[in-house]
Amino acid sequence: MTFLIRVFLMTILGTSMTVPSGQSAGQPSGTPFITIGTQEVGLTAGYLLPHRLTTEHTTKQQGPALMPSWMMTITNPFGPRWLQGQVAIGAEMVYLQFREPILTHGIGFTPKIKYSMIVLDRLRPYLEFAGGPFWTDLGGRIPEEANEFNFIVTGGVGLSWFVTPQMALNAGYRFHHISNAGTAYPNLGLNSSLPFLGFSFYF
């Protein structure tokens, strides 16, 4: 019986001293430990709000957006202490539903790059940029766009809060631009703001 009690106590002590997967010794609990090759799978959702930048922009396109993504970290932390961060690259699918001026849809595929700052441990600001081909049946029905085939370019800022070392909640803002790159006219383009929420898993 005494032997079993000793084994039990050693097991409990050994477990309590084990560093969780993805976390190095000396890090605060919950702090992510992201290295080169760490992968991120995420889902972002938001609502498009139109920007009519000139008097020729008359369409008030708006509606929900859904963006699943995959990324991989490709650098160790670098840069000055107050801006130190890591770069990740990957790809994102973009689905937009335009509820104004008529109910239409858009879907695209965008390579993506993100720079995440690591100075705040579990709270990590980031910058992101993405762009790629985009198809929408709104094109050809509005004065700003002649084609259904277009390109979408987005840039934004966000904050990731790591609930655990492997899971983060995200919130931020993106600016969206949709145009056909001069392949047809008119080509005034559509511009929108996108406040968003989302989550990511790291492995």
**Residue 48, domain member (yes or no):** yes
> If DSSP codes are grouped into helix, strand and coil, which group holds residue 80?
coil
Convert the pLDDT of each residue in 51-88 to its tens digit: 877 777 778 889 999 999 999 999 999 999 889 999 99
Q: Work out how many domains the chain is built from and give that number.
A: 1
**Residue 140, domain member (yes or no):** yes
**Residue 115, domain member (yes or no):** yes
**Residue 16, domain member (yes or no):** no
CB–CB of 104/136 below 8 Å?
Answer: yes
Amino acid letter, residue 127? L
Convert the pLDDT of each residue in 106-124 to its tens digit: 999 999 999 999 988 899 9
Query: Which CATH number characterizes residue 169's domain?
Result: 2.40.160.20
Reported pTM: 0.81
Closest among 10, 50, 19 to 177, alpha carbons compared: 50
Q: How far is CA 99 from the centre of its chain?
A: 23
Convert the pLDDT of each residue in 24-56 to its tens digit: 444 555 688 899 999 999 999 999 998 877 777
How many CB atoms within 10 Å of residue 108?
Answer: 22
**Residue 18, domain member (yes or no):** no
Containing structural domain, residue 52: 40-202
> If DSSP codes are grouped into helix, strand and coil, which group holds residue 7?
helix
Q: What is the structure's pLDDT at 29? A: 53
Res 157 pLDDT > 80: yes
Q: Phi, psi at residue 101, to the nearest 5°? A: -80, -20
Q: What is the structure's pLDDT at 156? A: 98
**Residue 128, domain member (yes or no):** yes
**Residue 77, domain member (yes or no):** yes
Q: What is the structure's pLDDT at 200? A: 98
**Residue 143, domain member (yes or no):** yes
